[in-house]
Each structure stands twice: as C-alpha cells, then as structure tokens.
Chains A and B, each alone.
Chain A
Amino acid sequence: MAAKAKRQWPFWEFTLIVAILGAGAWSSTLSPYYLSVDQLFGSTRAFIIPGLLALGLAVVVSLGEIDISLASIIAVGTVTLSKFSAAGVPLGVSAPIVVAIGALCGAFNGLLVAKWRLPSLAVTLGTMGAYRGLAFIIGSEVGYTDFDDSYLWLGSEYIFHGIVPVSLIVFALMAILVWFLMHRTVYGRRCFSIGLNTDASWFAGVDVTETKIRAYALAGALAGLAAIVWIGQYGSARGDNADGSILFVVTAVVLGGIDINGGRGTISGVVLALFLLGTIRNGMGLANIGGPTQTVVLGSLLVAGVLRPAAAAALARLSNPARLKAAGPQGVESSGQE
C-alpha cells in the first residue's frame, strides 16, 4: 500500500508542472510584461514568506497535525528584531535568537499537541491569538522602521547581476534542506509513519512526542527566518505583520499533495504548488485582474484540486468495481493528463 501510494505522487507533481506551464502560458497571453527574466524572478519575492511557512507546515501536516499560528509567530519575530535593531545588536547575533524564539513558539505548540495530546487545530487557533497579542505587547502601539541596513539585506537584495533575489536563494536552500530531512533521513520516515498510523509507529519504537515537538519547532524556526525576510522586504515591524496569510499557506501545502490527514506527500509537491499559485497570482496581477476575481479563481482551484482524487476514484468505481485498488493510481494518472 505504501509503495503504491508512493508511486502515485510523481503523477501529481507532473500534473502540477503541467499546470504551472499552462498557467505560465496563460499568463503570457494575459500580459505582455509577464515573460521577462527580471519579472519572473522578482515576482517570486512575494511568495518567499508564505513559502517558508509552507515548508514548515508541510512537515507538521505530514504528521497529521496542523499549525495555524505560524503567521503570528512571524509577527513575534519581526517585533523582536525591531527591539534588537533599536538596541544596536548586530544581525549576526539577533538573527539566530529570533529563529530560536520562533522555534520556541513552535515547540510550545508542539508540547501542547504532542505531550498533552491536545487537538492541534484548536491549540494553534488559541496560540494564533496569543502570539499575535504577544507581538502587539512587545511591539507596543507604534511600528518600528528604523532598521539598520544589515537587517534589510536578506529580504531586499538581489544577486547575480541584480536578477535573483537573495531571499529566493534562502528559500531554495531551505526547501532542499526540508526535502532532504523528509525524504532522505530517518526523521522524515518517522514523520510519515506517524502520519499514517500513530499507534503502530509508537509500537515500532518511534518517539511520537519528540518527533512532533521537533516538527513544530522546525516550523516555528522557519517562521522566525520568514520574519527576517519580512523585515528586509517591507522594512516595517508591527504587531499586525503577516496577519491573514495563513490560509494561503494551508492552500499551498494541500495543493502540493500533502494529505491533510498525514502520512503522504512530498516537499517537491509543495514547492511546485507554491510556484503554481505564484504563477497564477502573478499573471492575474499583471493583467490587473481584481482581488475578488483572484480569490474566486484560487478558491475554485483548491476545490478542483482536492476533488480530483475523489473524481478519479468515482470514475474507477464506475468503470470496474472489482479492480478498484489496482485502478486507483492509474485513475489519478489519467485525470492528471487531462
């Protein structure tokens, strides 16, 4: 079963690639400005921050859990950075501390979820508010903007003749790191096995609690890193930073093929989903299509994306009930190539 499940994912990734190319082609007909190297690289900047959150969330979701407090952790990170910047602390010192604070916030979520076995959606709904409140308490009423230039580099500079954003490189490195962690290490196998069957994993000797806390801490740390990128990109630390962006992140993770119940999915799928969403939003944005229409298109896409396996299964059931299991992956493949 696991082998079969593993076999079907490349098809989903293939579908995503086809969809990205399709969306790119569509975008280039929408706007003459779409197809330019500068533009394409530049537009990725808008998706680095949700992208970093999506990488962390993917790990958490692979365990069958969820974390909707990540955007609030960004705000805790940005206001903390503003305090460090105001105190003249060099970025070399403050950056690791902020990433650690992010990890701590994440680990606290993990502790509540794994150690005390509380439902993750409810817990992180609570900490979402609590961390947001904390960010306002630390940051007080006024925003801070007087950042030292060194604080801005990561999120604002371009390299390779000013074409490739530094933050994109950071994202790529993190994506490779998380991909390696999830698909090439024991830790990753444990995450997926817990997501598939927690009890069986526990009996097999996997320390479920520790694995989960680490996943949450990783997601939190990536949110801390995203806070540093935020400061570079927007140069503004306020309690309401990144408010409301978490639903887009969840969309990316799910569209990337991570099973919301855990146990299945790939990091490459998540990265591709980010590119797909980014391409569509970039194309529609350049064509000056209004926000509401974009919202409707993205919503429909999400529904269509998740209905796909159900539709494929229904088709398979209709065509030959007896061969249901064997037909599953093939059904996915045929629908993917439509």
Chain B
Amino acid sequence: MSDQPVPAEAAPSRNLVQFVLRLREAGVVVFLVLLGLTFGLLNDRFLSVQNLTIVASSAAILAIAACAQGVVLITRNLDVSVGSMMGLVAYLTADWTANHPGISPAEVVAIAVVLGIGLGAINGLLVAYGKVPALIGTLGTMSLYRGLTYIYAHGQEVSSSRLPHWMLESADIRIAGCPIYVIIAIIIVMAVAWFLYAYPLGRRIYAVGSNGVAAWFFGLRAERVVMFAYVLCGFLCGIAGLLYAARVGTVNVVLASGWEMSSLAAAVIGGVSVSGGSGTVIGAALGAVVLAAIDNGLVLLRVPEFWRMFIQGAAIVAAVAVDALIAEAIRRSTAGRRR
C-alpha cells in the first residue's frame, strides 16, 4: 500500500469525495422519501399523483429562489434580499404590464430579467467590490428594495383584473397534468446545475467558495466570480418574481416577504453548506420540495399550524447536523487513506 504512487492515491480519494458529495444530495432524497412514506402511511391521499403534483407546484417557485440562494451560498456568501428582489421585480413588471396592455409576453419576461439582473448587480457590487460582508450588504438592500416597492406602489396593488389575460392563463397551462411553472422550474434548476458542473465559470464558483485563498493563488479573480453569482441570483429572482405574480394573480407590496429565510432554509435542508464550496442547486431545489411536502402533509393530517413551524425548524437543524456528519465522514475517510 505504502509504495503506491501518489497520483493513484489521489484519484480514489477524489472519487470518494465525489461519491459522498453525491450522497449528500442523496441525503435530501432519502429524507424526502422517508417523509413521503411517513405521510403516505398516515394518509393514503398523500402519495397520489395528484397530491404530489400539488406539492411540486407549491415548491416550484421557492425552488427557483432556493437555487438562486444556493448559487450565492456556494461562493461562501449570502443573499437576504432574495424576497425583496422578487417583490420589487414582480411589482414593477406587473405595473408596467398593466399600464401597457399591448405588451408582448417576451417583453414582459425581458423587463423582469433585466430588472432582476440590475438588482443582483447592485448586491454584487457591494459584496464583491465594496468588500461589504454579504449578510450586512444584502440586509441593507433588502430594506432598500422593499422600501422602494412600497414607495413606488403608493398604497396600490396590481389586481388580477388589471393583468393581461394571457399572463394568468399561461400560468394555468398544464402539460400532462403538470403545471407549466413546475416544468419551467425544473428546466431552470437543471440548467443552473449543469452550468455549475460543466462550465469553467461554474466550477470557479465552487473554487472561490471552498477556498478563496487557493483560488486566488490559481489566478482566479474572486471578485468577478462573486459578482457573477449575485447577478445570476438576481436573474433567477427576476424569473421567480414574475412566475409568482402570474401564479398568485395579485401583486402587492409584501409579495415574497420572508422568502429570504425560506430560500435559505430550503438550500440548507438541501445540503448547501453556508460555509461555501459544497452542495448543489438541485439539492437546494429538493429542499424547497421538503418544505412544501411538510406543509402539505401536515394539512392533510390536520396537524395544527404551530407544529408545522416547530417541525420545519427541527428539520432544518436535523439537515444541518446530517450535513456536518457527512463532512466529518469525508474528513475521516480521506485522512485514513493518507495514513
């Protein structure tokens, strides 16, 4: 064993790490399956295709937000302005759409995306180039964006009757019984996951998050990577905000408030580490599914609201603990091999 060449030793240990990283995502899946089985045993309607579709549709938009949060978390940063970005984008876009009845769907999407990118870029500038700690910088923009939404709205809301018919109707489209926005969410999350996995810029996001100093020595411009992560986050929030508006049909100033915490919770349950560098956006999206499944299952079981809060909180702590156990297992196994 000891006379094996070094590269050969490095290879299996990397495979092992990759294996466990995959296992880490598997952790959410296992949790989800256990949750599903428990609810399924207690209530026979839970595991019906129809109900699972419902769970997926309540999770879809949060999954996109969690994916946005996940990208930023992987760079070892944080974005607590996620909900406020969604709210501001949704309100501005909906108001613009309501006031310009002839507007085409493509233009609406373009407005939302551009606004989202702009807001994300402000966060990126603050954190990447302003060197402001992520929590504080985005805490500031969280208040700022939400406050601007209120000031712009001036006590109004954009009600469903003011929105063009196609906007709400397109959210009601179902493909093989599955709401369109669930499919959009799946495509987006997959695309982002693929991007992070296969593209150099995507890999750099992981590199910066797992070891910023090492990444710097390798010649990575961490600022640019972090900036990009925030812009991507803003972009995703723009889409999520628009989908939210189309789904719920009424756009008010409090839209998606509190989603900074839900998106963070979903990402953490999904195995994205708040210390950066590990986890996947697919895991984050599955975390959103876990939260939606708990919500749905507890209503089916007629469990009081209070227990829902308690159980979701406990689930987050449990997920974090499992995550740490896995990390510890990796550390031990790799250390063992080196010896």
Contact = CB atoms under 8 A, between A and B. Distances in A.
A306 B140 contact: yes
Interface magnitude class on chain B: 35 or more
Interface stretch (B141-149, B167-175, B181-189, B230-238): B141-149
A68 B120 CA distance: 24
Contacts of B147: 292-296, 299
B140 A302 contact: yes
A296 B152 CA distance: 12
Contacts of A302: 136, 139-140, 143
Given A295-B143, A295-B150, A302-B136, A126 B314 contact: yes
Interface residues of A, number: 46
Contacts of A188: none
B136 A254 contact: yes
Interface string A283-306: 000000011111110111011001
Contact of A299 (B142, B314, B317): B142
Contact of B141 (A250, A251, A299, A311): A299
Contacts of A293: 147, 151
Given A132-B313, A292-B150, A123 B132 contact: no
A119 B76 CA distance: 12
Nearest to A296: B147
Interface in A135-169: 136-137
A199 B320 CA distance: 22
Interface stretch (A27-35, A44-52, A110-118, A268-276): A110-118
Contact of A250 (B139, B144, B274): B139
Nearest to A247: B139
A25 interface: no
Contacts of B261: 125, 128
Nearest to A297: B147
B133 A130 contact: no
A177 interface: no
Interface in B120-142: 126, 130-133, 135-137, 139-142
Contact of A307 (B132, B150, B274): B132
Interface string B244-280: 0000000000000000010011001000011100000
B213 interface: no
A129 B144 CA distance: 25
Q: Is the interface of A mostly helix, strand, loop or mixed?
A: helix
A119 B275 contact: yes
Interface in A300-338: 300, 302-303, 306-307, 309-311, 313
B305 interface: yes
A300 B139 CA distance: 10
A62 B136 CA distance: 15
Contact of B130 (A116, A123, A307): A307
B10 interface: no
B160 interface: no
B313 A131 contact: yes
Interface in A15-69: 66
B309 interface: yes
Q: Is the interface of B mostly helix, strand, loop or mixed?
A: helix
Nearest to A298: B143
A251 B316 CA distance: 24
B196 to A, nearest CB: 20
B311 to A, nearest CB: 7
B310 A134 contact: yes
Contacts of B32: none
B316 A116 contact: no
A122 B316 contact: yes
Contact of B321 (A116, A296, A307): A116
A239 B306 contact: yes
A239 B308 CA distance: 14
Contact of A122 (B139, B274, B305): B274
A251 B294 CA distance: 32
B70 to A, nearest CB: 13
Interface in B280-312: 305-312
A215 interface: no
Contacts of B109: none
Contacts of B28: none
Nearest to A72: B313
Contacts of A307: 126, 130, 132
Given A122-B320, A125-B265, A137 B140 contact: no
B158 to A, nearest CB: 17
A306 B132 contact: yes
Nearest to B133: A260
Nearest to B81: A299
Contacts of B146: 292, 295
A9 B146 CA distance: 32
Given A119-B320, A130-B309, A306 B314 contact: no
A116 B324 contact: yes
A200 B57 CA distance: 49
B62 interface: no
B78 interface: yes
20 contacts: A112-B320, A118-B317, A119-B275, A119-B320, A122-B264, A122-B274, A126-B313, A126-B317, A129-B312, A137-B306, A250-B135, A291-B150, A292-B147, A292-B150, A293-B151, A296-B148, A299-B143, A302-B136, A306-B136, A310-B132
CB-based closest 5 A-B pairs: A133-B310, A129-B313, A299-B143, A130-B313, A126-B316
Given A247-B139, A309-B131, 18 more contacts: A112-B321, A118-B324, A119-B273, A119-B274, A123-B320, A126-B314, A131-B313, A132-B313, A136-B306, A239-B306, A247-B143, A254-B139, A260-B133, A290-B150, A292-B146, A299-B141, A303-B132, A303-B137
